[in-house]
Amino acid sequence: WRRPGDGTTSSSIACRGTRSRQEAGWGNLEEGRRVNPRPSSSHKAFHYLCVCLCSISNSQASDSVLEAVTSTLKKYPFDFRGARILSGEDEGLFGWVTANYLLENFVKYGWIGRWIRPKKSTVGAMDLGGASTQITFETTGAIESPSNQVTLKLYGQHYKVYTHSFLCYGYPSLLLHHPLSCVFLLQARAYALRLDNPCWPQGFKRSFPMESIYGSPCTRTERPPNYFPMAMVNMSGSGDPAQCLAHAESLFRFTDCPYSSCSFDGVFQPPVQGNFIAFSSFFYTVDFLRSVMKRQKAAALSKASTHPGHFFLPLQLLRKEPNLEHYLQNYCSMATFVSLLLTRGYSFSNTTFPSIAFQQKAGDTTIGWALGYMLNLTNMIPAEEPSFRKSTSFGPWVGLILLFVAVLLGSLVSIFCLMKSSKGRGAV
């Protein structure tokens, strides 16, 4: 929400995304009305954004969802400004803006009463979301792929930013609700309905329908010839770190780079430089390593691609964390995937890996693309450098006036007393 008068943008709630035309955002809007029930809601600007899976679904389905959302929003007491699909690159860029805005890397109000430009560099941003992962950072090198370059002018300063979004490389897309990784396991086993998963703890078992694997936009093109949505796949964990590493490597294509340097899948990326913030599922993975497995992130995560056994624990030990039961079977394999993504994908070395800060918040604010988008939408980050003059709000101004008057009166009284005292001594 944006506070009237001063343009302050804040986040009040987080809702589950809209996945179909039938949902059309009803639950999210009811939450919005609950948080802001006042009649003045009709003056609150409302923007609906769709990211990730919307951008990889077919255009007809995406347009259908946006049409239903638009129709729904017009029935609510909000000042509806439009609905749009945010590209993966925009998502990464706005996440970068959010992180650097919160860290006051663009500009800050100094103690001398002036806006000053901090003498520090921007930080890169890495987001691992539901259906994609993004990397965005400022670079001084040449960007050989024009689609990955964004030039910004913020507070009078020019920034050349590299950004890329890898669709279908998000956490749920890979391991949870729509396990892309299972596609490769099934292909390797000739689509057998009973197979082992080397990335799951030994003894862990799960059954799920084929539709949960091939129903995602990321996996539809990989459906087998004899695809039957309701056929049940029975998968058992074998807990083999070496095979899990080989399986995780099969998710990437590190060869065939048409540029001077690439990350993976033939995508150009200049060498990483500066400090980085890794949030969303990057943070949750590292937080699991620190809290449950008692691993230090730089010492363990950076070595997973060569020592994957660091992340495998017996199932009975993992189950000691009941609050994480829904995710436990995937954390070890996720740590292996994240390590490969950062070290072999984004090319963080033993020297540059410690420059990554895994955190979910900057100050008290969660890092993500939403705040950056709203800051851009409300023009709270101007292109030109702000004026060095800054007015004082009414309350402090009145206080200063009263203090000045009190000091002035006190001085006059002191002068009067001194004059009277000196006259008395003269009379004696």
Structure tokens at 419: 């004059």
Residue 134 marked ligand-binding: yes
Residue 266 marked ligand-binding: no
Residue 242 marked ligand-binding: no
- Contact yes or no for 10/36 (Cβ under 8 A): no
The backbone region for 190, taken as left when phi is positive above 0, alpha when psi lies in -120 to 50, beta otherwise, is: left
Structure tokens at 110: 């100094």
Read off the amino acid at residue 306.
T
- Contact yes or no for 129/280 (Cβ under 8 A): yes
- Helices 241-249 & 180-188, crossing angle to 10 degrees? 110
Residue 202 marked ligand-binding: no
| From 30, 31, 89, 91, the catalytic residue | 91
d(CA 220, CA 13): 33
Residue 243 marked ligand-binding: no
Tell me the CA distances in angstroms from 294 to 29, 299, 300, 347, 404, one per residue in order: 41, 11, 10, 25, 58
Question: How remote is the C-alpha of 58 from its chain's centroid?
Answer: 24
H/E element, 287: helix 281-291
How crowded is residue 129: how many other Cβ atoms within 10 Å of its Cβ?
25
Give the pairing of strands 205-209 and 108-109: unpaired
d(CA 300, CA 286): 10
- Contact yes or no for 344/305 (Cβ under 8 A): yes
* Nearest residue to 168 via CA among 52, 338, 250: 52
Annotated catalytic residue 89: no
Binding residues, as ranges, are 130-134
Catalytic residues: 91
Binding residues for ATP, as ranges, are 130-134
